[in-house]
Amino acid sequence: MIVPNVKILDEKNPILRIKSKEVSFPLSDSDKQTIKDIANYLKLSQIKEYYEKYNLRPGMGLAFIQLGIKKRIFVIVYEKDDKEFETYVVINPKLLSNSEEMVYIAEGEGCLSVNREVCGIVPRYARINIEYYDEEGNKHIKRMREELSVAFQHEMDHLDGILFVDKIDKKDPYKDMDKMREI
């Protein structure tokens, strides 16, 4: 197995603060290849033998902007069962609705562009309804829950130039923790 050559920008890079542009169809061959590369990278990064062998940081989502490409595209590779993955290619996403219930990731959120330990919680909606297009231009409306809801919100933030660290209260990193559910 060969790890795709995916160059992820560090949080210090100002490109990550740029709002990505809407994408039109059909996608270019270059964009389609980037989607494949990201999906393969994310999958390998979640399999112990590969992330140890190739020194990869495990990740389940990556936005084009994290590679310096200012397009509203991200890929999520979600491990449903041991080495059984579900891949989402998300283009031009729109949040249609969200739950009132808020959640946070117990271990804290991480990001392939943030190469440091970050303490604090990131408030996220427990459930969202989202509209997006796949790589063929087909429209999807999906309801996401729990970890997938958090992952989609995290990646959608990237498309608007927002990093998860921006959502942690600087003065009180665990603010309102008692008003949210831990997942």
What amino acid positions are annotated as catalytic residues?
155
How are the residues of the chain apportioned to helix, strand and coil, as percentages rounded to the nearest 5?
A: 30, 30, 45
Secondary structure (DSSP) of 60-125: SEEEGGGGT--BSEEEEEEEEETTEEEEEEEEEEEEEEE-S-EEE-TT---BTTB-S---S---EE
Separation CA 154–CA 176 (nearest Å): 19
77 and 36 Cβ atoms separated by less than 8 Å: no
Query: Residue 13: what residue type?
Result: N
